[in-house]
C-alpha cells in the first residue's frame, strides 16, 4: 500500500457514486477459522481470508507454535489471502513459545485458550493498549479447567503453564468481551468439554458468540471467508448519505455476521413520525457498524440511541468516549451514557470540518471518513491505523468517485 499523508483529507463526493466495491474478508471469521483449522485433523484451505495486522499476528503465532501454515495471494482482493493450515488434531506442536498479539483481541483471547491444549509454558503479550484490555474472565475459566496462568492484575502479558486440561462446568460473563466465551467454545471439542460452557449476560442470539458456535458446527476443510460486513458498512453508508448505488461484491445471502443487518437499521433512521430515538443494541442488533450508524444518524430524521455497548469502552480505545469527543468536534449534538450514547440529527449548516483524532483505532478512522464524504474539511489523523483490518480502505474509498465501466 502507498504511504498515506497524515492527516488524510477527505473530499466530499461531487456526485452520487455508482460502483461495486470488493471488501476484504471478515477479521472475526478469519481468526476463528484459523483456530479451527489448527485444531482440525485435516489440511484446511481458507479462501478469501483477511490479510491485515489482526490476522497476520494470528498466523505468525501459529508459525511460532510450529503449525504448518502456507499463505498465498488472492487473485481478486489484494488484502485477502488463501491460507492453508495443516491441522494437528487438537495437539499443540511446540511446548515453549512466546506469542505476540499486537492489539488484536481475537488473537489474544483465542491463542490463550489454544495453548491450554498443549503441554509446557507459553508467554502471550501484546502492545501497550492490549495490556490494558480485560482478560480476567478468560483466565479464570482456564484456571478452573486446570491451567496455571501468571498475570499481573489479570491482564497481559501472561505466562501459561499447562500439563493437561480437566474441564468442568463453567459460566462465563460476556459484559467486557464476548471473545472470552468464543475462545472457550473454539477449544471445547478438542478439550472434550462439550456442554461445560454456559453464558452470563445479555442474550447473544445473533452476535459474535453465536458466530463462533455456528462456525464450529459448519467449518469445512475447504472454507470460504465472508467479506467483512463491518467494513462493508462504510460503503453502504456512502450510498445512503450521497445517493447513487454501491454494491458490495459477494455479500452473503445468509451471513454469520451480526453486521449483515446494517442496511435494515440504516433504513430505520429515516422513518417518518415523531422524533423518538431509534434504539440499537450493540449486543443484539449490530456489531462494530454501530459506529458507522452513528455517523449516518447525523443526517437522519430520528435520534439514534446506542445501548448495551459497555464493551466499546475496552476495545482498541474507549470507543464511546472517542465517538462523543470527535462528534462534538465537528459540531454534532450528542449525549454520552455509561453503556452507550445518543446522537441527534444535525440542522443544515450545523456540522463543520475538523481534524479527527483516531486514537489508533481503525473503526474511528473509517467511520469519520464516511462523514467527510458529506462534510467539507474532514481530516483523518493517523490514517494508517486502518491497517489493523482494512489496509486498502482509502483506495477503496476513492473508487466511489470513479465512473462505472461501460
Residue 245 sits in a domain of what CATH number?
A: 3.65.10.10
Write down the pLDDT at residue 206.
Answer: 55
Write down the pLDDT at residue 339.
Answer: 95
Write down the pLDDT at residue 406.
Answer: 59
Please report whether residue 3 resides in a domain.
no
Please report whether residue 31 resides in a domain.
yes
Do residues 18 and 52 share a domain? no
Please report whether residue 2 resides in a domain.
no
Phi and psi at 382, nearest 5°, equal: 50, 55
State which of 193, 224, 255 marks the end of a domain.
224
- How confident is the model over 108-163, as pLDDT tens digits? 999 999 999 999 999 999 999 999 999 999 999 999 999 999 999 999 999 999 99
Distance, CA of 310 to CA of 318 (rounded, Å): 9
Contacts 24+ apart (CB under 8 A), 260-263: 260/229, 261/206, 261/285, 261/286, 262/229, 262/232, 262/233, 262/236, 262/286, 262/289, 262/292, 262/293, 263/236
Please report whether residue 189 resides in a domain.
yes
Please report whether residue 218 resides in a domain.
yes
Do residues 219 and 271 share a domain? no
Q: Which residues pair with 10 in a beta bridge?
A: 378
Q: Which residues pair with 125 in a beta bridge?
A: 100
Do residues 95 and 118 share a domain? yes
Do residues 268 and 185 share a domain? no
Give the chain's residues under pLDDT 50. none
Residue of 365, 363, 323 whose CA lies nearest to 343: 323
Do residues 198 and 252 share a domain? no
What is residue 128's three-state secondary structure? coil
Please report whether residue 404 resides in a domain.
no
State which of 224, 241, 257 marks the end of a domain.
224
Do residues 163 and 245 share a domain? no
Q: Specify whether the CB–CB gap between 13 and 373 falls below 8 A.
A: yes
Do residues 263 and 360 share a domain? yes
Instruction: Work out how many domains the chain is built from and give that number.
Output: 2
DSSP string across 24-59: PBPHHHHHHHHHHHHHSSSEEEEEEEE-SHHHHHHH
- How confident is the model over 40-49, as pLDDT tens digits? 999 999 999 9
Distance, CA of 85 to CA of 41 (rounded, Å): 10
Do residues 48 and 114 share a domain? yes
Please report whether residue 1 resides in a domain.
no
Do residues 193 and 309 share a domain? no
Write down the pLDDT at residue 278.
Answer: 87
Do residues 296 and 373 share a domain? yes
Do residues 323 and 381 share a domain? yes
**Structural domain for 60, as ranges:** 27-224
State which of 205, 224, 243 marks the end of a domain.
224
Distance, CA of 374 to CA of 12 (rounded, Å): 5
Helix (H) / strand (E) element for 397: namely helix 393-399
Do residues 266 and 386 share a domain? yes
Write down the pLDDT at residue 273.
Answer: 55
Per the annotation, the verdict on 163 as an active-site residue is no
Residue of 326, 332, 401, 400 whose CA lies nearest to 361: 326
Distance, CA of 290 to CA of 262 (rounded, Å): 8
Please report whether residue 278 resides in a domain.
yes
Q: Which of 74, 288, 308, 361 is catalytic?
A: 288
Q: In the Cβ-directed half-sphere of 249, how many Cα atoms lie within 13 Å?
A: 11
Write down the pLDDT at residue 58.
Answer: 98
Helix (H) / strand (E) element for 108: namely helix 105-115
Amino acid at each position: 500500500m502507498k504511504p498515506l499523508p497524515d492527516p488524510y483529507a477527505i473530499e466530499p463526493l461531487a456526485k452520487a457514486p455508482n460502483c461495486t466495491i470488493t471488501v476484504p474478508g471478515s477479521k472475526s471469521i478469519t481468526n476463528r477459522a484459523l483456530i479451527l483449522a489448527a485444531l482440525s485433523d485435516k489440511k484446511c484451505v481458507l479462501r478469501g481470508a483477511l490479510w491485515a495486522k489482526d490476522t497476520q499476528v494470528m498466523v505468525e503465532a501459529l508459525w511460532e507454535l510450529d503449525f504448518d501454515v502456507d499463505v498465498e495471494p488472492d487473485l481478486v482482493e489484494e488484502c485477502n489471502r488463501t491460507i492453508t493450515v495443516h491441522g494437528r488434531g487438537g495437539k499443540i506442536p511446540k511446548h515453549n513459545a512466546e506469542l505476540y498479539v499486537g492489539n488484536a483481541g481475537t488473537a489474544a483471547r483465542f491463542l490463550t485458550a489454544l495453548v491450554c491444549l498443549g503441554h509446557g509454558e507459553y508467554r502471550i503479550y501484546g502492545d501497550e493498549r492490549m495490556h490494558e484490555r480485560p482478560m480476567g474472565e478468560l483466565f479464570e475459566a482456564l484456571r478452573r479447567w486446570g491451567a496455571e496462568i501468571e498475570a499481573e492484575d489479570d491482564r497481559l502479558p501472561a505466562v501459561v503453564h499447562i500439563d493437561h486440561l480437566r474441564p468442568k462446568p463453567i459460566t462465563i460473563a460476556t459484559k467486557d468481551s464476548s471473545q472470552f466465551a468464543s475462545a472457550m467454545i473454539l477449544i471445547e471439542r478438542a478439550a472434550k468439554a462439550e456442554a461445560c460452557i454456559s453464558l452470563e449476560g445479555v442474550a447473544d442470539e445473533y452476535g459474535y458468540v453465536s458466530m463462533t458456535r455456528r462456525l464450529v458446527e459448519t467449518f469445512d476443510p475447504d472454507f470460504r471467508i465472508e467479506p467483512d460486513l463491518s467494513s462493508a458498512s462504510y460503503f453502504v453508508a456512502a450510498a445512503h448519505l450521497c445517493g447513487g448505488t454501491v454494491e458490495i461484491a459477494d455479500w452473503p445471502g445468509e451471513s454469520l455476521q451480526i453486521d449483515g443487518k446494517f442496511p435494515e437499521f440504516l433504513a430505520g433512521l429515516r422513518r417518518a413520525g415523531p422524533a423518538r430515538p431509534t434504539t440499537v443494541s450493540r449486543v443484539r442488533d449490530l456489531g462494530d457498524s454501530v459506529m458507522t450508524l452513528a455517523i449516518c444518524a447525523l443526517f437522519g430524521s430520528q435520534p439514534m440511541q446506542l445501548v448495551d455497548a459497555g464493551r466499546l469502552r475496552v476495545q482498541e480505545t474507549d470507543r464511546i468516549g472517542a465517538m462523543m469527543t470527535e462528534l462534538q468536534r465537528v459540531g454534532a449534538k450528542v449525549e454520552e451514557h455509561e453503556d452507550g450514547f445518543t446522537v441527534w440529527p444535525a440542522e443544515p449548516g450545523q456540522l463543520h470540518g475538523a481534524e479527527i483524532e483516531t486514537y489508533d483505532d481503525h473503526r474511528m478512522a473509517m467511520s469519520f471518513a464516511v462523514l467527510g464524504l458529506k462534510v467539507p474539511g474532514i481530516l483523518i489523523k493517523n490514517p494508517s491505523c486502518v491497517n489493523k483490518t482494512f489496509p486498502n480502505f482509502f483506495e477503496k474509498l476513492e473508487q466511489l468517485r470513479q465512473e462505472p465501466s461501460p
